[in-house]
Structure 1
Amino acid sequence: MHDIRAIRENPAAFDAAVARRGDAPVSSTILALDEARRAKILAAETAQADQNKASKSVGAAKASGDEAEFERLRALVSEKKAEVAAMQAEAKELDAQLTAALEVIPNLAYDDVPVGADEDDNVEIRRWGTPRSFDFAPKEHYELAGAQGLDFEMGAKLSGSRFVMMRGHIARLHRALAQFMLDTHTGENGLTEVNGPVIVREEMMYGTGQLPKFGEDSYQTTNGWWLIPTSEVTLTNTANGETLAEADLPVRMTSHSLCFRSEAGSAGRDTSGMLRQHQFEKVEMVSITHPDHSRAELDRMTECAQGILERLGLPYRTVVLCTGDMGFGARQTHDIEVWLPGQNTYREISSVSVCGNFQARRMNARFKPTDGGKPDFVHTLNGSGLAVGRCLIAVLENGQNADGSVSLPAALAPYLGGKTTLDKDGKLV
């Protein structure tokens, strides 16, 4: 959510920042609503003052025996009361219109974020590892003999397209990846593990920016709750309505959860295999920080996600998203893309974003300075650390052998009873 005071103070700068994200100028519409709202509030306050003044005079007129004046003042009080109620209702409606206009405007990118229209304008900032050279044509994950535990037919039978059932040893491998990520983040990266709900109230989805603009991309229950598209919603909203102590910042959390996305706007994209599923698992990272430290925290969280891939020996590259490719709530985003030899390209496996105070304003999440100053909004960040299913894809494709077996990363051996290979029959050996 944007600060209306900042728009009032420099509407041209606000429009310029909105334009960098590819949207049309909006300040004139916003300020017209704001002016009408403030004018109606002032009129209501003036009428309220007149009502209060007349109310005080009613008693005096009654006491003096001036029945005509008493009736006139009583009628005036009634008239002003109706005026005040009407003006307050109009002000409330204008306030709702202003909020509705503000809540669908995306966050403003930092000045150093590259300007661009789409993913072709993203800027690479890091590349790690060398893609393996194969002496055979590498296959995609769902084509590997060793990945026969991925049962897409049963997933479709049970739930429809873009669901998968994992059986046997590959299910264990998937679970091992999530456990490895959690242990690394909690044991080495200083994050606190949280196991939270996957069904949340509507105001929680609003707080992190999924609503109202992107409701069609998520699933809602019949009683109005929502299935989380990411545990960013759960973790970030722990600060919803709270005033934290500055000394308690930063708050760093991680969670392994089921995630649900209808992705109504992504029909037909990446539907083969398990790259883009309606139900998937992710290990999420969320940080709640002091405003002065959020940019540094973005780099730290990016390194945490990169470290998982490095420990697994998976080649990747990191890009800064351009203004046209960033998510709604982000001020800057680093996408980490893992190498998938079956597709002969890098594909996103983590997206780490700093949101500034954009989400905090929607949630009214603040911190109280140690020096006793006025409470201020916290900054929030979120990032995948990592998407478990996509990590499984990368492990399968990068470790594949000519016979369909898969050589597994050494880092996973402690989670697999010392086993290091998924053989061509789909068994851990």
Structure 2
Amino acid sequence: MRETALSAAHAELGASFTDFGGWKMPLKYSSELEEHHAVRTTAGLFDLSHMGEIRIVGPDAATFLNTALVGNLAAVKIGKAKYSLICREDGGILDDLIAYRIDEDEYLLVPNASNREVVAAALSERAAAGPAGNTASADSPTSSDSPTSSDSAAPEGAGFDVEVWDESEGISLIAVQGPVAQKIISSVVRANETFLVEELGYYAFTTVSIGGDEILLARTGYTGEDGFELFLPNDKAHALWLALLEAGSDDALVPCGLACRDSLRLEAGMPLYGNELSTERVSFEAGLPVVSFSKQENFTGRAALEAAKAEGRGKTSGQRLVGLKGLGKRAGRGGYPVLAVEGAAAGETVGAVTSGLPSPTLGFPIAMAYVEVEHTEPGTRLDIDLRGKPQPFEVVPLPFYRRAR
């Protein structure tokens, strides 16, 4: 397994490790429940260095990303970020990612750890293919009738004027999440830069000085709480990790592993690739309003997504991702069948759980599941089949938890 630059620091803190996407990552340090509650009440410190960092640079950067991704990246202002998807020609989701606009002709993309190499390869291939996007690639259909078959390949030299750099191996990513995250970050930056932290908006970034180093500081998050992410070279990561632990010691900052990160993101109704998102799903089923049909570029998957929208996929046909609130004490887990309770379909399987657990914050079981659209109205009673024992749930709007502003 790959290790982050902070692996030794995690071991010193007594972390239990797990394999996550080929990376040796801390699962928890002491109690995952304590770590979960710390993020909700004070703050948690996360090592996210397994995530990818892919830089797109060149005169065609904005146009290229508008062709490669489903969102309108050209409309993103410098210093801002946007959540988007990279899809296959059939509309299936290759990955969800965040794109930061560093400059007019420069973006930084942060894909999921397990998909980083796939995303980097797809971006490189699409950059070489050019605006037509007609070159067959590993992430698109290969049948002879595919719109990306080599029969209509773009001519040589027709690619976008951009460079795609996968910088993941050299960059560490550290996050501080929780109600006192801003206070902790402000305490470690240069004194005359605290205003940069305090004035930083959601889904925005800036550059700050910490210990003499220039660090990219973003304010996004995957926990449902206020939070910050810090991008820096691997050789600077250990010093920053220790500095943050020291700065947060009076505010009950604790190091946190992937276990509580999963329970936090589920309470916040945030999808996880491999659970809620996959190549078998399209954005409309997942309830992600991120596809821009108003932009002029013929982005990869556009035709398929237009057809899916026209047929009401995820709205009037097929399945839709919903939240399920447990009415009993037992929680559903990924893959468990969801059963109809009422009407002609009573007792029939109408979906499947993608993620589920007892909510530490709310005190009852929660789950996300793909369910046939006719059974997705809030308040609808459904059962989750827990190994032959149906347990009662009801459909509720997402997210389950929303922090006080």
Assess same fold via TM > 0.5. no
User: Whose helix proportion is higher, 1 or 2?
Assistant: 1
Instruction: Specify the structure having the higher radius of gyration (Cα).
Output: 1
Task: Provide TM-score, normalisation by structure 1.
Answer: 0.22
Task: Provide TM-score, normalisation by structure 2.
Answer: 0.23
User: Whose strand proportion is higher, 1 or 2?
Assistant: 2
